[in-house]
Amino acid sequence: MFASRNWLISALLISAGIMSSAQQGKGNECTPAGVWYGGSVVAYRMTIMPAGPAGHYVTLAEGMYKNSVLTTMYAGEMTKSGNKFEGTLMALNTQDPAYTGAPPYQNLPDIAAGSFSVEMIDCNSLTNTIPFYGLYFGSQIWKPGTPWTGINWVASGKVPLVDPPDVDLVFALTGDTKPIVETYHRIARAVNPALLH
């Protein structure tokens, strides 16, 4: 009985160790959490942070280009699904020159939204595939409200990622319907000691 109890305790400890090594966080440095640089035709800085249960992440991406009067960075979430991480993200942007000044504004911004799938190639490189990327005109979603009422939502307005976009950005940017593929490298976690002054 004593030997079987020791065997059971040993088996449980080994199982717990195996399961904990697969979780994100300290002790498992081979997760997508970190700061990345890459992209495809344009360069991006992407930050991925653990959030909530294991396998759930918040993603922030900022491109090195200007395609509107004012644009926010992309923000989204992704969740581990098999050997990939699936998610969605969005950014606000506007061509309205009024946004060079202070609010209030007559129109609210458009929403660029997409879905993506991240696959880690190794601990320091990943591929991001974007099968859907669309632009939703703000006029089809929302109108300015007041400080006392909040946003005025358009009745039967479009819902990004649910309704078809006003502009299919995959096609608009590539002239094709194939998904956009980006590649990224992780920024080193420490400087080479030989480079220190």
Candidates 65, 63, 79; CA nearest to 115 is 79
- The sign of the dihedral angle between the CA atoms of 11, 123, 82, 24 is positive
pLDDT at 64: 92
pLDDT at 102: 94
Q: What residue ranges do the domains of the chain occupy?
A: 1-28, 31-188
Rounded Cα–Cα distance for residues 155 and 131 (Å): 29
The answer to whether the beta carbons of residues 81 and 116 sit under 8 Å apart is no
pTM above the 0.75 mark? yes
pLDDT at 14: 36
Q: Which amino acid is at 1?
A: M
Rounded Cα–Cα distance for residues 75 and 46 (Å): 10
Neighbouring-strand partners of residue 195 = none
Q: Report how far Cα 153 is from the mean position of its chain's Cα atoms.
A: 25
CATH of 31-188, one of 3.30.110, 2.40.128, 1.10.1660, 2.60.120: 2.40.128
pLDDT at 119: 97
Which tokens belong to 34?
Answer: 């970190």
pLDDT at 29: 75
pLDDT at 13: 35
Using CA atoms, how far residue 26 sits from 21, 31, 50, 107, 195, in Å, is 9, 10, 11, 45, 27
pLDDT at 26: 57
Which parts of the chain have pLDDT scores under 50? 1-25
Rounded Cα–Cα distance for residues 87 and 134 (Å): 15
The answer to whether the beta carbons of residues 79 and 118 sit under 8 Å apart is no
The DSSP letter of residue 102 is P
pLDDT at 153: 97
pLDDT at 127: 98
- 53 preceded by cis ω (within 30°)? no
Rounded Cα–Cα distance for residues 130 and 118 (Å): 9
The answer to whether the beta carbons of residues 71 and 91 sit under 8 Å apart is yes
Which tokens belong to 191?
Answer: 């400087």
